[in-house]
């Protein structure tokens, strides 16, 4: 069994020092790995990343993270990433890593992801260059997810995103902004190659539980959705009969 803690949309601000550390001090006992699903900072300012780094300083478990749209807003993504990495956070952007916990292995592929919409309402890369550019990153994320999931030889496989791969976990948000909250382009490689759990944030007004069309559990672990500092999951192998 591997125990995960997950949270998204922390939106750390320079005036928010100490908001999370009281909760995070419990995590070493409750989880084996902490997964952060983007929007770690409010405006993507390095000073905000420093606040989060100091909040996470006492943790000894591995911390894996993806960035969110707020983390790139002020164009300081390299600095934000470097500050978090200096604090021991493994930042995944179309990247994957494998962690071993008590003899079991966990493969995590992470990417911010991007929008595009879902199913019949999914935008196509047609027409203006701006539309093609809009979808370019979503397709690149999907390709990275496919590559990692198809190559993992681990006991468990988790996909960590900021944007959602399914519409179900967006319920509660305005339907008109769904194309900016995620895309089924991200969901397809997950169902094709398989995973045990998908985690995302971004949709503050969304719904916690969902499932891909192929039956893989998806959890919106945005803190405003959870109303708690993180969610806990136990990944277990089914009992062989």
Partner 1 sequence: MQRVYLVTRVRNALATDHRTGLTHLQIQFTDSGRGVVTGEVASPEQHAAVTEVLRSVEGAEDFLNRTHVKPMGAPHDPETILGHRR
Contact footprint for partner 1 (CB under 8 A): 3, 5, 11, 13, 15-16, 19, 23, 26, 30, 42-43, 70, 73, 155-156, 194, 196-197, 204-205, 217, 219, 223-224, 227-238, 240
Nearer to partner 1, 124 or 228 (CB): 228
Give the Cα separation of 132 and 120 in Å (integer): 17
Nearer to partner 1, 30 or 168 (CB): 30
Shortest spacing between CB 1 and partner 1, in angstroms: 9
Shortest spacing between CB 62 and partner 1, in angstroms: 17
Nearer to partner 1, 42 or 164 (CB): 42
Nearer to partner 1, 120 or 240 (CB): 240
The whole-angstrom distance between residue 21's C-alpha and the CA centroid of its chain comes to 20
DSSP code of 7?
E
Q: Which residues pair with 37 in a beta bridge?
A: 66
Q: Encode burial over 175-204: b for 16+ CB neighbours within 10 A, e otherwise.
A: eeebbbbbbbbbbbbbbebebbbbbbbbbb
Shortest spacing between CB 113 and partner 1, in angstroms: 16
Nearer to partner 1, 26 or 57 (CB): 26
- Give the position of tokens 């100091």: 54
Q: Which residues pair with 164 in a beta bridge?
A: 182
Shortest spacing between CB 167 and partner 1, in angstroms: 17
DSSP code of 48?
H
Shortest spacing between CB 237 and partner 1, in angstroms: 5
Shortest spacing between CB 127 and partner 1, in angstroms: 24
In sequence order, which residues have a C-beta less than 8 Å from that of residue 165 and are 6 or more positions away?
Answer: 113, 159, 182, 183, 184, 186, 187, 190, 198, 200, 212, 218
Nearer to partner 1, 104 or 137 (CB): 104
């Amino acid at each position: 069994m591997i125990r995960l803690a997950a949270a998204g949309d922390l939106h750390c601000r320079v005036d928010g020092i100490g908001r999370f550390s009281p909760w995070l001090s419990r995590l070493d006992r409750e989880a084996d790995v902490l997964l952060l699903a983007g929007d770690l900072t409010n405006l993507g300012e390095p000073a905000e990343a420093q606040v989060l780094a100091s909040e996470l300083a006492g943790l000894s478990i591995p911390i894996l993270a993806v960035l969110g749209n707020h983390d790139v807003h002020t164009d300081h993504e390299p600095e934000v990433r470097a500050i978090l990495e200096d604090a021991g956070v493994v930042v995944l952007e179309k990247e994957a890593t494998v962690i071993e916990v008590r003899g079991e292995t966990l493969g995590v592929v992470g990417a911010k992801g991007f929008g595009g919409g879902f199913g019949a309402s999914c935008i196509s890369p047609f027409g203006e260059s701006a539309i093609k550019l809009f979808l370019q990153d979503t397709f690149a994320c999907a390709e990275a997810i496919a590559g990692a999931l198809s190559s993992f030889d681990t006991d468990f496989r988790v996909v960590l995103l900021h944007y959602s791969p399914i519409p179900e976990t967006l319920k509660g948000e305005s339907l008109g902004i769904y194309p900016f909250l995620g895309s089924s382009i991200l969901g397809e490689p997950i169902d094709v190659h398989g995973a045990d759990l998908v985690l995302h944030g971004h949709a503050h007004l969304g719904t916690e539980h969902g499932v891909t069309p192929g039956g893989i559990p998806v959890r919106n672990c945005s803190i405003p959705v959870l109303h708690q500092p993180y969610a806990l999951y136990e990944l277990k192998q089914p009992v062989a009969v």
